[in-house]
Structure 1
């Protein structure tokens, strides 16, 4: 049996209005059709390089995200043998086509149009696609003028873990809890809560709500069941930040530092990397997060 290989994944929550599986499917297809590279950091870029619609009847779309280096051919080149800048004559001998990019890596993804969740592989053959990078890619695609004119302001957030929320609420002394909720879809709140939040944000022409709990002098904020319930919503639609004190002194914690992660190891002789990826993410009615 071959040595088992690490496989891991994260998840984004994508929210559009109106809120229908058909609109989400169309959105994903349109951002794919852009064939647009998005800058992640430095020279690293990413794009959706493959979209598979064979499971579209079930609201499932799979594909590949490819990351690569985008070289500035007009920039200064360095000759490591001579330890000085390369001459124009030396640079003129470089004949890499502009549509070829080095140091590429591929990561599988799966989009559930029914739950508007996009699961993406975060580790492949030693290369990493972080949650922040995946967010940058899809936010960059949704900010394209043609996309934003058709779909409006897409709200995209990294889903964070319940374990991370429990950790930040376990700080011995909590001076402040700040909960931010980005304007949600109508399917995530109980009827009364959803209606009030939606109406309040719409009436104020606002896209997010921040709720802050500050401790009385000499006291610590208690995360009540109500606070925990609101915070659970923020894990998929915003974040929760806590300021307080522990044995080391003043601390600041955020659920942003605890993204939801799925991970395991697989035998490459028994299954493909794509099969391993799909085996660790929620399927059907299993939420998993």
Structure 2
């Protein structure tokens, strides 16, 4: 049987809070021009090194940063490297190991970045990408030019519905960072923004909890807020299963599109197809969300 090649794409929602400074292509271009990495997991770093403002396509790099105090191992004597061994190591500072590259695309209207999570037999975790953007958006050059900017991995709305419909839901927590009113409708955005502003907060949280044999039954408002959290934060829950409470988190179910092909070398073609599907899914859901806005 011939080998199948996996292609997978996920998405991150980026929000420039100041309406007067919302220029998403310029934001991504600025990050690309900085050519500055962010450590995301262990020794792994991510950076945007290329972005085309015409096509709104670019490349995310993944590489390792070797700490200067790392211990080295000698495979000949199967022991730690000696001082003499270490003197033989000459790696220019500009060279980094475990290099990989991944395509990304920006939909400026949706302010969503779709990115490869698997291609060329290489993987890129959604958690790493979220950490990259959260770190990079704190660069002083970004804050000076665009003010406060938030980024959250987009969750699968089907997974959020499954959380809300758990049979023995005991706890439900919604975490929402400032959304754009264009995405969710003026009414719901106004409620969230007012509560954040009244309490001088950057993050809105709502928590429900029950005891005994009762279960939480989310109403329409809570369900609407949960789907806002799926794009702008996270949904956490605890469900009674047997004698234990099992934890669920929307972050564990990111929105993804995946396909396999019979031939290798189709990464860019498949990325373009899957990123388009991701954008269509986001657009369709936001339209439904605004029309059903409580």
TM-score, with structure 2 as normaliser: 0.87
Kept after mapping to 2: 8 A contact 1:21/1:113: no
Q: Distance in 1 between matches of 2:217 and 2:24?
A: 39
Kept after mapping to 1: 8 A contact 2:17/2:178: no
Q: 1:234 offset after TM fit, Å?
A: 1.0
Identify which of 219, 230, 244 aligns with 1:224. Answer: 219
Please list, as runs of the form range in 1=range in 2, the aligned pairs for 1:69-148 lying within 5 A after superposition.
69-73=64-68, 75-148=70-143
Q: 1:63 offset after TM fit, Å?
A: 0.9
Q: Distance in 1 between matches of 2:18 and 2:138?
A: 18
Q: 1:267 offset after TM fit, Å?
A: 4.1
Q: 1:262 offset after TM fit, Å?
A: 0.9
> What is the root-mean-square deviation of aligned Cα atoms in Å?
2.4
Kept after mapping to 2: 8 A contact 1:161/1:259: yes
Q: Structure 1: give runs of 5+ residues left out of the alignment.
A: 56-60
Q: 1:54 offset after TM fit, Å?
A: 2.7
Identify which of 268, 279, 286 aligns with 2:280. Answer: 286
Q: Structure 2: give runs of 5+ residues left out of the alignment.
A: 286-294
SS, match of residue 233 in structure 1? helix
Kept after mapping to 2: 8 A contact 1:171/1:245: no
Instruction: Specify whether residues 44 and 191 from structure 1 end up closer, same or farther in structure 2 by C-alpha distance, changes over 3 A only.
Output: closer
TM-score, with structure 1 as normaliser: 0.89
Q: Does 1:210 align with 2:211?
A: no
SS, match of residue 172 in structure 2? strand
Range 80-89 or range 26-35, more displaced: 80-89
Q: Distance in 1 between matches of 2:192 and 2:161?
A: 24
Q: 1:180 offset after TM fit, Å?
A: 1.5
Q: Distance in 2 between matches of 1:264 and 1:76?
A: 41
Kept after mapping to 2: 8 A contact 1:12/1:135: yes
